Amino acid sequence: MARDETSLQAFQLLLEAGALLAGATDFRAMLVKIAELVVPTLGDWSVLDLVVEDGSLERVVVRHREPAKQPLADELSAYCRTVPECMKSSIAVARDALPKISAEISAETLERAAGDAHHLELLRALRVDSLVRVPLVAHGNVLGVLTLVFGGSRRRHTHATLRVIEELANRCALALENALLYERQRLARERSEHLAERLQLAAAASGIGIWDYNVSTGVLNWDVRVRQLFGLAPDAEVTYERFLTRVHPEDRERVDRAVQAALAAG
């Protein structure tokens, strides 16, 4: 009966995770919500680490089921951001891209796993009796590591719970991949807009006219100074064909060939 109840809880958790992950674009907020969702069903406390650009791990969040112990969890999270040695076990899981389950954690094992004395002190205060670490892998790329810990509740991880955690990790990894792609596109768009603003300021200060041609849409944009140069009114419609009519007839074919060759070359 207890096993059936546990299976039902795991199934419900996966359903909730699916709803939470659907359409998520803020990857950090998403990771925090996942860390909160899995507690206490799959662990008394949870940890989520993110692989960053240089290949190292960044500790994003630690969540504990007991509000009284959350300050300790926050302290552990902050401490591991400044002392990378604290994350050596998670780093190993990310490197090997393989899950690790430790159904029973002895005092000696905890001492070996700790990065230093303060790290050990925090782990003892939070309690570590049983532990699972799984990599977040999407299309062959390790994006992070999810750690789930039972401590103080007399529960232990099993290979059955590991399967549920791995399924959750797979779903989380795919959503994380999409959210990271969205974030990269957003940053690229912001950089492009910032550069465009700086170019506009520089052009205005120097009196130089500027234009751009969107090869995807075929839209040609000229500023007022370029329109003046081509003898057009400030509000005149601008098209590539109209541009060609303003090119000297003897040069028109050569210019058109050069433009088409440049577009074909990408």
Q: What is the mean pLDDT of residues 94-105?
A: 94
The mean pLDDT of 131-137, rounded to a whole number, is: 96
Q: Which CATH architecture has domain 2-182?
A: 2-Layer Sandwich (3.30)
Task: Encode pLDDT of 215-260 as tens digits.
Answer: 777 778 888 888 888 888 888 888 888 888 888 899 999 999 998 8
Fold match flag (2-182 vs 209-265): yes
Confidence of residue 7 (pLDDT cuts 50, 70, 90): low
The domain spans of the chain are: 2-182, 209-265
- Please report the pLDDT score of residue 4 as a whole number: 45
Q: Output the pLDDT for position 2.
A: 45
Pick the CATH number of 209-265 from 3.40.50.620, 2.60.120.10, 3.30.450.20, 3.10.129.10: 3.30.450.20
Inter-CA distances, 120 with 36, 110, 112, 127, 188, Å: 23, 7, 9, 10, 41
Assign 266 a pLDDT band (cuts: 50, 70, 90). low
For the residues 164-184, what does the mean pLDDT come to? 91
What six digits make up the tokens of 179? 């959210």
126 burial (CB, 10 Å; 0-12 / 13-18 / 19+) is buried
Q: Which pLDDT score is estimated for 71?
A: 96
User: Where on the phi/psi map is residue 23: left (φ > 0), alpha (ψ -120 to 50), or beta?
Assistant: left
Does the structure show a pLDDT above 80 at 3? Answer: no
DSSP state of 87: G
